[in-house]
Amino acid sequence: MGSKISLALALLLELLWAAAGLHRSQFPDSFLFGASTSSYQVEGAWLEGNKSATIWDVFTHLPGKIKDGSNGDVADDHYHRYLEDVELMHSLGLNAYRFSISWSRVLPRGRFGDINTIGVEFYNNLINSVLSKGIQPVVSLCHLDIPQELEDRYGAWLSPEIQEDFGYFAEVCFKAFGDRVKYWITINEPNLMLKFGYLIGTIPPCRCSLPYGNCTSGDSTLEPYIAAHNVILAHATAVDIYKSKYQVKQGGFIGIVINCKWYEQLRNVSEDYIAAQRALAFDVGWILDPIIFGDYPTEMREILGSKLPTFISQERRKLRHKIDFIGINHYTTHYVKDCIFSSCELNKYDGNALVFTSAQRNGQLIGTPTPMENIFVVPYGMEKVIMYFKERYNSTPMYIMENGFPQKSSNDMLLDDLVKDPDRIDFMQNYLTFLTKAMRQGADVRGYFVWSLMDNFEWLYGYSVRFGLYHVDYTTQKRTPKQSAKWYQEFLADQRLLHQKTGTNLKTQGFK
């Protein structure tokens, strides 16, 4: 009887929540609502202020690498326009802004040269102006764009030397900015960086071997794991320095950001459920298990054997400090099928987990496609990803550090059309709704950051897709709010808003 009543009450509550729609008041006041960018994607000024070239500067200048032949030399010219951009954040009502520090701007030659005071000054100015608007800076130390010199000298992540360089860079930043920066991210999406950079070899340093990819050098069967080992220990070096020398004095938090697509089982059989768990272990556990539990997942050890490095005792000691939070970048969901008991084609990106991944089940797409071929709109993935992290990592606090919608863009599209982005509003609203479902099940999520504040350089896609709440005209550098900017602003201003599917109830006029 009692359980029937509580079940009825739970159902009633569920209905009431659903009827209320998505609302700012469903989140604690302290919840961080922000937007994200990264240095290479927005700053431009690629060789100004004594900055050195990064691996991305060098790569984008090679012919044929970027879809539209573009590069980040100018990007959003944020380096010169940051004051205007801070105004955009302020007018949205953000209480947090996530950006990355360009290693090459602060230490153009890594630990082999001097601290570049011009670079330090730029980030001081940015941090101070963000704070002056009541916005918390959330800072990534490494978001892909490492100094080319470290690649040339010792092969960057392939060498243990990177641990010392990264620790040195992190300490320079803690010292210079840690009195004001309270949220530190060591490395952004190392799992994607390792798979694209060392397994399939499509992004710098473009190392791989057949059949994973066709690179001039590399070894896809070994190097991703060697580089990952150094990534994990470089992260641990920075955490160790922060926790033992700065955290008590500065009172901040430090974590890492992992990309996690959700792996949904293709067939309703236990083999595919286990395959999905295995795919997650190879994608997420690969980096987070050592950081949180001290060793690689058993699923990886069983399949890779001695190809997977082991942590020697001195390295284990480095991993003793725990991170304060996990950052999650989540965009999409794919189906996964077991390839141990069923015969199937191993895909290059996830196949080492002995799985096949696909966006289709019985000819039906998992979600609406987007201009990025791997991103499909699957809002329920947000809840599943968060619940997975909650359970696997013992309720370590979580921040959604990126979530956003790629919008098609081409030269013949007009500004008037590009600022109409009801698909992005639906995307954010639906993903946020599933985020609140996870929070109601006890998930300790403390923030949500939209990717991105403004349109910017989208890596291999160049400027051919737009993720921004603000449209950027790359000729004039004019920023224009899209309908999604107005939606986010109204949501954050605590206005009850039930967005209609068409988005036609949203007017851009009069919006500042």
Ligand X SMILES: *[C@@H]1O[C@H](CO)[C@@H](O)[C@H](O)[C@H]1NC(C)=O
User: How far from 314 is each of 18, 233, 237, 298, CA to CA, in Å?
Assistant: 51, 11, 12, 21
Whether 87 is a known active-site residue: answer no
Residue 512: DSSP 8-state: -
326-352 burial, b if ≥16 CB within 10 A, otherwise e? bbbbbbbbbbbbbbeeeebeebbbbbb
By beta-carbon proximity to ligand X, the closer residue of 210 and 414 is 210
Q: Residue 437, class by beta-carbon neighbours within 10 Å (0-12 exposed, 13-18 middle, 19+ buried)? A: buried
Residue 475's CB is within 10 A of a number of other CB atoms, namely 6
Cα–Cα dist 438/395, whole Å: 12
64-82 burial, b if ≥16 CB within 10 A, otherwise e? ebbeeebbbebbbbbbebb
Q: How far is CA 66 from the centre of its chain?
A: 20
Strand, coil or helix: 146: coil
Residue tagged 């991210």 (tokens): 185
Paired tokens of 240:
């160790």
Minimum Å gap between C-beta 214 and ligand X is 4
Cα–Cα dist 267/354, whole Å: 16
Binding site for ligand X (CB under 6 A): 50, 116-118, 210, 214, 268
The answer to whether 36 and 468 have CB atoms below 8 angstroms apart is no
Paired tokens of 247:
């955290």
By beta-carbon proximity to ligand X, the closer residue of 50 and 508 is 50
Rounded to the nearest 5 degrees, what angle is found at the Cα of 332, between the Cα atoms of 448 and 381? 70
Whether 189 is a known active-site residue: answer yes
Cα–Cα dist 438/255, whole Å: 21
Minimum Å gap between C-beta 112 and ligand X is 14
Cα–Cα dist 174/126, whole Å: 15
Minimum Å gap between C-beta 506 and ligand X is 36
By beta-carbon proximity to ligand X, the closer residue of 9 and 118 is 118
By beta-carbon proximity to ligand X, the closer residue of 53 and 492 is 53
The answer to whether 142 and 186 have CB atoms below 8 angstroms apart is yes
Residue tagged 């790569």 (tokens): 59
**Which residue among the candidates 149, 151, 402, 458 is catalytic per the annotation?**
402
DSSP-assigned states of every residue in 147-166: BHHHHHHH-GGGSTHHHHHH
Task: Give the length of the chain.
Answer: 512
The answer to whether 419 and 391 have CB atoms below 8 angstroms apart is no
**Which residue among the candidates 189, 299, 315, 383 is catalytic per the annotation?**
189
β-bridge mates for residue 99, sequence order: 139
Amino acid at position 382, single letter: M
Cα–Cα dist 452/467, whole Å: 6
The answer to whether 51 and 108 have CB atoms below 8 angstroms apart is yes
User: How far from 123 is each of 81, 385, 402, 512, CA to CA, in Å?
Assistant: 13, 33, 21, 26
β-bridge mates for residue 121, sequence order: none
Q: List, by residue number, the catalytic residues.
A: 189, 402
